[in-house]
Structure 1
Amino acid sequence: MFRDEDLALLSRPLYAFLTVAPREERWPAPRPVWFEAAADGTLQMFSEPGAPKVGRLREHPRASVVVAAPAGEPEHWVAAEGAVTLHDDGGLELATRLAPRYWTFDDPNHKLWLEQWRESGLVRIVVHPEKVNRFSA
């Protein structure tokens, strides 16, 4: 479903904004997340198992994801929506693989975060796009 120009944007160290079904008293609230466009056409991200978004995804396994080029560049964004599967395996591996894309390890706090993730375990969130919208200026 992703075009070459989509994949070029999705391969950059940008944040994806993940939106899941809100609780009854809340409005939808996108959350910035690290992500990877996988070879199988899915978008994968991770979270701590006790995060509210994981609980909501267990109740309503659908989400939308938006990735946009930063300000100062020509407008370009990709939005995908679809079913979500949650996996107890692969979350830490994904986080470890993505860490150099988003962090430098000169900051000792980054090493501490990775260690905390190792101890707590991570859930891998996989979005299976059913619809993709895009815009490129």
Structure 2
Amino acid sequence: MLTAEDLEFLRRPLHGFLTVADGPVRPVWFEAAGDGTVQLFTPKDSPKVRKLSGDPRASIVVAAPVGERERWVSVAGSATVEPDGAHELAARLAERYWNLEDPALAGELAGIQSLDLVRLVIRPEKVSRYSM
């Protein structure tokens, strides 16, 4: 359901805005995976995980930054909590979003890696998009 153009856009280092059922919107790092899913990581004991255990609906909206023509992609679907791959995902995303040659940011990543993380995987059921 994600087009090649969607995937190209979603592979940029942009923030996504995640919503889970009965939960607030949260800015997140994310990855558009080759299998068409959208993945992110979070601590195992986060409110997102608790809410998804009762209702697996989730959505993420990603928008172009200020200074670019208006463009956004929204992905909604069922999300699963996966026990594997979260630390590897966190490392890939930190490399994408941060300059890890900065000792402070490398230390932040080390702190993230010390957490008990899980991977959230959203399987698209509905994709909406807008591009000027």
| TM-score of the two chains, using structure 2 as the length reference | 0.94
* Identity rate, percent: 53
Q: Among residues 99, 108, 112, which one is paired with 1:117 in the alignment?
A: 112
8 Å contact 2:90–2:113 — kept in the other structure? no
Structure 2 match to 1:79 = 74
Q: 1:126 aligns with which of 121, 125, 128?
A: 121
RMSD: 1.2
Question: Does residue 103 in structure 1 map to residue 86 in structure 2?
Answer: no
Whether 1:21 aligns to 2:21 is yes
Q: How does 1:15-94 map to 2 (within 5 A)?
A: 15-22=15-22, 28-94=23-89
Q: Which runs of 5+ in 1 are unaligned?
A: 23-27
- Determine if contact 2:62/2:72 at 8 Å carries over to the other structure: yes
1:20-62 CA-to-partner distances (Å, cap 9, x unmatched) read: 112xxxxx42111111111111000000112111111111111
The normalised TM-score by structure 1 is: 0.90
Structure 2 unpaired stretches of 5+:
none
Counterpart amino acid of residue 4 in structure 2:
D
